[in-house]
Chain A
Amino acid sequence: MKKELIRLENVSKSFDGELILDDLSLTIHENEFVTLLGPSGCGKTTTLRIIGGFETPDNGRVIFDGQDITSLAPNKRQLNTVFQKYALFTHMDVAENIAFGLKIKNKPQDYIEDKIHYALKLVNLNGYEHRMPGSLSGGQQQRVAIARAIVNEPKVLLLDEPLGALDLKLRQDMQYELIRLKEELGITFIYVTHDQEEALTMSDHIVVMNQGYIQQEGSPEDIYNEPENAFVADFIGDSNIIKATMVRDELVSILDTDFVCVDKGFGENTPVDVVIRPEDVELVPRGEGTLSGTVSHVIFKGVHYEMEVQAGGFAWLVHSTRLYETGSEVDIKVDPFNIQVMNKPESEDEEVLAKDD
């Protein structure tokens, strides 16, 4: 088990009477790449700002390395933040920006210069020391912001949607760079994003949040393959989320058709939701599958075709490399392992969240 680094204990926070975080508890371990994932307004940024010290929670505690830092000022915390809009000092050049924190700590000039050199090399910006931020591209500015943060050797780097303002290609490049950086530095990254793909690509550990609650925590694989509720399933990737009835163990009735599955312990004739990823829906010629339907819509996506199949009164989303033209009569078949059965939302809160996405 990895060593615990940060622990949020029952943290609550509201702004102007609106509850943003409700009794949130979260543990972050050393040397992890943790992603807080959720739609806007879910509380992920507030959580990050509480860790960074820019907000003070109304209730609860923040423990850092065994110390209570709940009301410690941000400039006293051993962590650094990379902001969404870079937040570089526009009147200072790149080197001055990077040296800012080191100068405050009264580091010797040689040390500062070494650090600037090292950090710029790390973010692939050698030779940019004397450029002004305004003359750099968005991606370059973000690298400077990262360099500025890491020269202070923080134990934790907080990143608030740092790639949000970049275009797609640049964003993908930066994702790999961030992973590499994390490996080289060997420190904890806490990363906030609303982009599930980004989260799945980079994280060791994902925390899915909605409306101030943690919906599910786990590795990217866990989150993707076994979403615990409809919100997570819907938020992470495309999904077919269908109301169903658990007939008995290992048999579920979807749209009045029985499917074999691997889930147990839901009881008999229990209403449930099932999640089936579009790439897990197999289309086979009529007569060879479980449920009959008609292809109603086809889009070419490059890697695969995205098709909509009307079957049993539900529009199924299907990803397949094999094309069935619009109007084709097909059957649907699903491998038992790929049917994810979930309980119906129990609490009112969960209900609200599920509707809300």
Chain B
Amino acid sequence: MRSKIEKIYMGIIFVFMYAPILTLIILSFNTSKSRARWGGFTFQWYINLVNDNSVLNAMANTLIIAMVSTVFATVIGTLTCVGLMGLRRRSRTVIMGITNIPMINADIVTGISLMLLFKVLRFETGFITVLLAHITFNIPYVMLSVMPRMKTINPNTYEAALDLGAEPFYAFRKSVLPDLMPSIIAGALMAFTMSIDDFIITYFTKGSGFDTISTKIYNEVKRGIQPEIYALSSIIFIAVLVLLFASARMRQRQAAQRKDVALYKVEKRISKGKAAVIAVASLGVILLAMYFGGVFTRKNNQLFVYNAGEYIDPEVIEMFEAETGIEVVYDEFETLEIMYAKMVQNDGAYDVICPSDYMIEKMMNAGMLRELDLNMIPNRKYIGKQYMESARSFDPNNSYSVPYCWGTVGILYNKNMVKEPVTSWDILWDEKYSGEILMQDSIRDAFMVALARNGYSINTKDPAELEVAAEDLVKQKPLVQAYVIDQARDKMIGGEAALAVIYSGEVIYTQRENPDLAYSIPDEGSNVWIDAWVVTRKARNPEAAMKWINFLCRPDIALMNFDFITYSTPNEAAREMIEEEDIRNSEVAFPDESILDRCETYFYLGEDGDALYNEMWKKVKSGK
């Protein structure tokens, strides 16, 4: 009886521990992009992964960093242990204590202090700084594995080798090293795993244009995770699992070694050959990775691009590189605010960026942008007039930005659950739909809904109007199922909610997954947003930046991006080329001008305005 309970208990623990990972692995084979629906089995995401250069690059970076840092950390850590043995016990304990600190220390503290150190030393952040950081935090793990073994080694063994005529290094290699080897390998595996696993320290010490798998995944998460990432995470999980098993086996063998020495000897013969194969293979991987990672090839003709995640067809980047010979260093930001903070910190880091309307205004006001050389961007003529006109709300002379994508904010609803026509924001306050409503977890969008409902400008800075809006939002809260970002689309696909505030760009995709969904822009009006390309004032390669913008305005390229992103394109010529008629004439992607007239873009509110909105938002969130 008791053992049965114990087994059940163990079972529950395992379910809690591994159910999430199992879910992830299953989703990586799901044909549907939705998390809520099983669309059949596929290897598509794995295939996409292999074809995605940015992911392969990040993978290569991760492996190079892991291998090189492991090698350095293992050598340094082992030598340190050898040196420590020469010290008295008390000094040894003190030094071991000190070297263990990076391991106990919060990663974020280690990460930030390393970043500050590199800043002070004027290191340019990138491959080298990440590598140094990884070596630093890996050394303690190696020492932790080697030191206990070191203590059990009979110092006379080394002396015996000297006594028999060996030179000191030879004596160390022949007498001490073989005994240490299992623990050194275990330490190296540990370091390797830690390096692959690390996010925080990497995040703080990496520069622009350099990503490892973990930072890459983080970027993706903010913009909505793609199934390729499930596939990648599954691969990483399996790889780490294998490493851990190898490490554990190494220790087991170490224990068994004492019992069955003869067997070990046979194994040793084999493992010598094996070791050689592994060494050659690792070297090969490192070289290949370096080739693909382009670690040592920093060309002058580079363009640093900073864009939101999943916001370009990767093939477009390759085509641009092929046509112009300019090498693109492509980075993704999670939110506009993070992008802005990074630009304030280092305004020369990127040449060309794709922010939204109000952020462009803010950057313009801050003098961070450069006037475009329109002679170099003849393809701008394909952008529809009405969009250029809308863009004047934040870029009065159309001289700093060229629209890239645009869209509206509206209500996505499930026709089976909402039988009445959706024409007003009021429906989000209808108690009939209590617990079936999803709101956007974003200050401007949430307030936009409440402000528009009351007939106020969505850019108001009037505290009285905002007070009304905030009260409305508080009143609405009991009806709201959740404030979400990209879960909205999955929940709607899965039929978990009836109504959701959503960006028009998500609509085509969600309708494809669940035909019962419909989209409406309420009569009171809404937000129309425009994302546009701008060139930074301190751009190191402004010419290439102009070429980049011009390239993206080319109709065939704009079409490729539209197919990939599915957000509305302002490129009229590209729209004409859309083959499916229902999409070309889609009310959602290309709404009537009459509807657009009701919509406003967001303006930059100024620091006071931002502060006011933030304060109100806090009230809403805390429900007061």
Additional A-B contacts beyond A75-B163, A84-B156 (6; CB < 8 A): A75-B164, A80-B163, A83-B160, A87-B157, A89-B178, A132-B265
The A-contacting residues of B in range 150-194, CB under 8 angstroms, are 154, 156-157, 159-168, 170-171, 174-175, 178-179
The 21 sampled A-B contact pairs (Cβ below 8 Å) are A16-B88, A73-B162, A75-B162, A75-B167, A83-B160, A87-B157, A88-B157, A88-B160, A89-B178, A91-B179, A91-B264, A100-B166, A100-B174, A101-B165, A132-B262, A132-B264, A132-B265, A135-B261, A148-B160, A149-B163, A152-B164
**Interface membership of B258, Cβ < 8 A:** yes
**Interface membership of A104, Cβ < 8 A:** yes
- Listed residue (B160, B162, B165, B171) with the most chain A CB atoms within 10 angstroms of its CB: B160
- Listed residue (B163, B166, B168, B179) with the most chain A CB atoms within 10 angstroms of its CB: B163
Q: What 0/1 readout, one digit per residue, does chain B (452-486) give for beta carbons within 8 Å of chain A?
A: 00000000000000000000000000000000000
Q: Which residues does chain B contribute within 8 Å of A16, judged by CB atoms?
A: 88
The B-contacting residues of A in range 313-343, CB under 8 angstroms, are none
Question: Chain B nearest CB: distance from A99 CB in Å?
Answer: 10
Q: In the bound complex, how far is the Cα of B166 from the Cα of A50, in angstroms?
A: 18
Of B159, B164, B165, B175, the contact of A54 (CB 8 Å cutoff)? B159
Are the CB atoms of B164 and A132 closer together than 8 Å? no
Range of interface residues on A (Cβ < 8 Å): 20 to 34
Of A80, A91, A134, A148, the contact of B268 (CB 8 Å cutoff)? A91
Are the CB atoms of A74 and B174 closer together than 8 Å? no
**Interface membership of A217, Cβ < 8 A:** no
The B-contacting residues of A in range 56-96, CB under 8 angstroms, are 73-75, 80-81, 83-85, 87-91, 93
Q: In the bound complex, how far is the Cα of B261 from the Cα of A84, in angstroms?
A: 22
Q: Which residue of B lies closest to A84 (CB)?
A: B156
Q: Which residues does chain B contribute within 8 Å of A132, judged by CB atoms?
A: 261-262, 264-265
Q: In the bound complex, how far is the Cα of B258 from the Cα of A84, in angstroms?
A: 20
Known: A101-B165, A152-B165. A89 touches B175 (CB 8 A): yes
Q: Which residues does chain B contribute within 8 Å of A80, judged by CB atoms?
A: 163-164
Q: Which residues does chain A contribute within 8 Å of B168, judged by CB atoms?
A: 75
**Interface membership of A38, Cβ < 8 A:** no
Question: Chain B nearest CB: distance from A186 CB in Å?
Answer: 21
Q: Which residues does chain B contribute within 8 Å of A133, judged by CB atoms?
A: 261
Question: Chain A nearest CB: distance from B259 CB in Å?
Answer: 8
**Interface membership of A105, Cβ < 8 A:** yes
Of B88, B154, B163, the contact of A81 (CB 8 Å cutoff)? B163
Are the CB atoms of B156 and A83 closer together than 8 Å? yes
Cβ-Cβ contact count across A and B, 8 Å cutoff: 82
Are the CB atoms of B164 and A87 closer together than 8 Å? no
Known: A54-B159, A74-B159, A85-B156. A90 touches B165 (CB 8 A): no
Q: In the bound complex, how far is the Cα of B262 from the Cα of A90, in angstroms?
A: 11
**Interface membership of A52, Cβ < 8 A:** yes
Q: What 0/1 readout, one digit per residue, does chain B (361-376) give for beta carbons within 8 Å of chain A?
A: 0000000000000000
The B-contacting residues of A in range 139-187, CB under 8 angstroms, are 145, 148-149, 152
Question: Chain B nearest CB: distance from A160 CB in Å?
Answer: 8
Are the CB atoms of B162 and A74 closer together than 8 Å? yes
Known: A87-B156, A89-B161, A89-B175. A75 touches B262 (CB 8 A): no
Q: Which residue of B lies closest to A76 (CB)?
A: B165
Q: Which residue of A lies closest to B157 (CB)?
A: A87
Are the CB atoms of B179 and A90 closer together than 8 Å? yes
Are the CB atoms of A91 and B162 closer together than 8 Å? no
Q: In the bound complex, how far is the Cα of B174 from the Cα of A81, in angstroms?
A: 18
Q: In the bound complex, how far is the Cα of B168 from the Cα of A58, in angstroms?
A: 22
Question: Chain B nearest CB: distance from A101 CB in Å?
Answer: 3
Are the CB atoms of B163 and A104 closer together than 8 Å? no
Q: In the bound complex, how far is the Cα of B165 from the Cα of A105, in angstroms?
A: 8
Q: Which residues does chain B contribute within 8 Å of A90, judged by CB atoms?
A: 157, 178-179, 261
Question: Chain B nearest CB: distance from A15 CB in Å?
Answer: 10
Are the CB atoms of A100 and B161 closer together than 8 Å? yes
Are the CB atoms of B174 and A89 closer together than 8 Å? yes
Question: Chain A nearest CB: distance from B162 CB in Å?
Answer: 5
Closest A-B pairs by Cβ, 4 of them: A101-B164, A132-B261, A87-B156, A134-B261
Q: In the bound complex, how far is the Cα of B167 from the Cα of A53, in angstroms?
A: 13
Q: In the bound complex, how far is the Cα of B164 from the Cα of A145, in angstroms?
A: 11
Q: In the bound complex, how far is the Cα of B160 from the Cα of A81, in angstroms?
A: 7
Are the CB atoms of A93 and B154 closer together than 8 Å? no
Are the CB atoms of B175 and A134 closer together than 8 Å? no
Known: A16-B88, A134-B258. A148 touches B159 (CB 8 A): no
Q: In the bound complex, how far is the Cα of B167 from the Cα of A104, in angstroms?
A: 9
Q: In the bound complex, how far is the Cα of B261 from the Cα of A74, in angstroms?
A: 30
Q: Which residue of A lies closest to B170 (CB)?
A: A104
Of A52, A74, A87, A149, the contact of B154 (CB 8 Å cutoff)? A87
Question: Chain B nearest CB: distance from A93 CB in Å?
Answer: 7
Are the CB atoms of B163 and A74 closer together than 8 Å? yes
Question: Chain B nearest CB: distance from A318 CB in Å?
Answer: 43
Question: Chain A nearest CB: distance from B87 CB in Å?
Answer: 12
Q: In the bound complex, how far is the Cα of B160 from the Cα of A135, in angstroms?
A: 20
Q: In the bound complex, how far is the Cα of B178 from the Cα of A80, in angstroms?
A: 23
Known: A75-B167, A133-B261, A134-B258. A85 touches B161 (CB 8 A): no
Q: Which residues does chain B contribute within 8 Å of A73, judged by CB atoms?
A: 162
Q: Which residue of A lies closest to B176 (CB)?
A: A89
Q: Which residues does chain A contribute within 8 Å of B164, judged by CB atoms?
A: 75, 80, 100-101, 104, 148-149, 152
Q: Which residue of A lies closest to B155 (CB)?
A: A87
Q: Which residue of A lies closest to B181 (CB)?
A: A91
The A-contacting residues of B in range 97-122, CB under 8 angstroms, are none
Q: Which residue of A lies closest to B259 (CB)?
A: A134
Q: Which residues does chain A contribute within 8 Å of B166, judged by CB atoms?
A: 75, 100, 104
Known: A75-B166, A133-B261. A89 touches B159 (CB 8 A): no
Are the CB atoms of A52 and B262 closer together than 8 Å? no
Q: What 0/1 readout, one digit per residue, does chain B (574-588) give for beta carbons within 8 Å of chain A?
A: 000000000000000
Question: Chain B nearest CB: distance from A136 CB in Å?
Answer: 10
Q: Which residue of A lies closest to B177 (CB)?
A: A91
Question: Chain B nearest CB: distance from A89 CB in Å?
Answer: 6
Are the CB atoms of A93 and B175 closer together than 8 Å? no
Q: Which residues does chain B contribute within 8 Å of A88, judged by CB atoms?
A: 157, 160
Q: What 0/1 readout, one digit per residue, does chain A (279-307) give for beta carbons within 8 Å of chain B?
A: 00000000000000000000000000000
Q: In the bound complex, how far is the Cα of B166 from the Cα of A105, in angstroms?
A: 9
Q: Which residue of A lies closest to B178 (CB)?
A: A91
Q: Which residues does chain A contribute within 8 Å of B88, judged by CB atoms?
A: 16
Q: In the bound complex, how far is the Cα of B159 from the Cα of A75, in angstroms?
A: 9
Q: Which residues does chain A contribute within 8 Å of B159, judged by CB atoms?
A: 52, 54, 74, 81, 83, 87
Q: In the bound complex, how far is the Cα of B268 from the Cα of A93, in angstroms?
A: 12
Q: In the bound complex, how far is the Cα of B156 from the Cα of A134, in angstroms?
A: 16
Q: What 0/1 readout, one digit per residue, does chain B (8-50) give for beta carbons within 8 Å of chain A?
A: 0000000000000000000000000000000000000000000
Q: Which residues does chain A contribute within 8 Å of B178, judged by CB atoms?
A: 89-91
Q: Which residues does chain B contribute within 8 Å of A100, judged by CB atoms?
A: 161, 164, 166, 174
